[in-house]
Amino acid sequence: MNGISIIIPTYNEEKAILDTIRELHATMKAANIPYQVIVVNDCSKDRTREVLEGAGGEKELGITLVQHETNKGYGAAIKTGSRYATHDILCITDSDGTYPNNRIPDLYAEMNRHDMVVGARIGDNVHIPWLRRAPKAFINHLASYVADERIPDLNSGLRVFTRELFDRFIHLYPNGFSLTSTITLAALTNDYAVKYVKIDYFKREGSSKIRPIKDTMNFVMLILRMCVLFNPLRIFLPLSGLIFSLGLVILVFGLTVTGKFYDGTFITLTLGAVQFFCLGLLADAVSRKR
């Protein structure tokens, strides 16, 4: 490993961005790791741009500064930042002070044996709003089922990964917050080596950009799409079994309780179960070929 490029997607973070940059410089210099800091300002509506430029811009701050002229989204900012990276190991973190950036050298050290190392927000000091905890737990369980592996933190915004992994699935990454979920599922379902390192998660500076209901639905739809793309049998086989079981229950209920033989319903549901099973096999064959 010859160094690391740290990408910071930034939107309306005038209060925290300079402290984040200074912390990163201090951390990486103390660890004696070659590094690059890339700040992508995603057309902030506050004074983020003025704060960065007023502090000297790229030269004085020791960063690569990229400006989006329109607001494109969290994922789009990371994809933009990756194009300016000079190292083969990439890192993403937030600019709001929530992630312990002093742990980046620890994550980087694990990259000798892994393709991605994720800072899992399961430490002793974790500040996640109660409103987001239930949806987060549900999404993590659903993703774990799809990946057939326990995922302690699906969408952590502090992680280190190889450029090869990131570039391989770049056509799948959405422009919004789901980029981190996408790369996690893509890596796990394609046999990349992923490790989770326990980290803390602090109270953020400013207001969150997460929209609880809309973003939760987007995460769920994303996970289902990723399942169909990479591990379709995890969806189609249970659906097939559920439909067949329903037909069997109706058949038994009719014969033992009502004395009627619901042959039409049973045959229809059985045929539907067979169709879902065959569709799952076809989707799995296509997925493996890709």
Task: Reply yes or no on whether the pLDDT at 29 is more than 90.
Answer: yes
Strand partners, 126: 201
> Considering the chain, what is the average pLDDT of its residues?
89
Instruction: Report the C-alpha gap between 110 and 129 in whole angstroms.
Output: 30
How many CB atoms within 10 Å of residue 245? 12
Say which residue, 9 or 256, is predicted with more confidence.
9
Cβ atoms 92, 192 nearer than 8 A? no
Task: Reply yes or no on whether the pLDDT at 10 is more than 70.
Answer: yes
Q: What is the pLDDT of residues 137-151, one digit of tens each?
A: 888 888 898 888 999
Largest CA distance in the chain: 84
Q: What is the pTM of this model?
A: 0.82
pLDDT-derived band of residue 1, with 50, 70 and 90 as boundaries?
A: confident
The mean pLDDT value for 203-208 works out to: 62
Instruction: Report the C-alpha gap between 76 and 166 in whole angstroms.
Output: 13
Q: What is the pLDDT of residues 90-130, one digit of tens each?
A: 999 999 989 999 999 999 999 999 999 999 999 888 877 66
* % of the chain beyond a pLDDT of 70: 92
Treating both helix axes as pointing N-terminal to C-terminal, what angle do 179-188 and 130-147 enclose, rounded to 10 degrees?
30
Report the pLDDT value the prediction gives residue 114, as an integer from 0 to 100.
Answer: 97
56: exposed, middle or buried (Cβ count in 10 Å: 0-12, 13-18, 19+): exposed
Task: Reply yes or no on whether the pLDDT at 134 is more than 90.
Answer: no
pLDDT-derived band of residue 283, with 50, 70 and 90 as boundaries?
A: confident
Q: What is the pLDDT of residues 154-199, one digit of tens each?
A: 999 999 999 999 999 999 999 988 899 999 999 999 999 999 999 9
Task: Reply yes or no on whether the pLDDT at 208 is more than 70.
Answer: no
Point out the least confidently predicted range of 41-45, 62-66, 190-194, 223-227. Answer: 223-227
pLDDT-derived band of residue 241, with 50, 70 and 90 as boundaries?
A: very high
Instruction: Report the C-alpha gap between 252 and 260 in whole angstroms.
Output: 10
Burial annotation 20-37 (CB, 10 A radius, 16+ → b, else e): bbebbeebbeeeebebbb
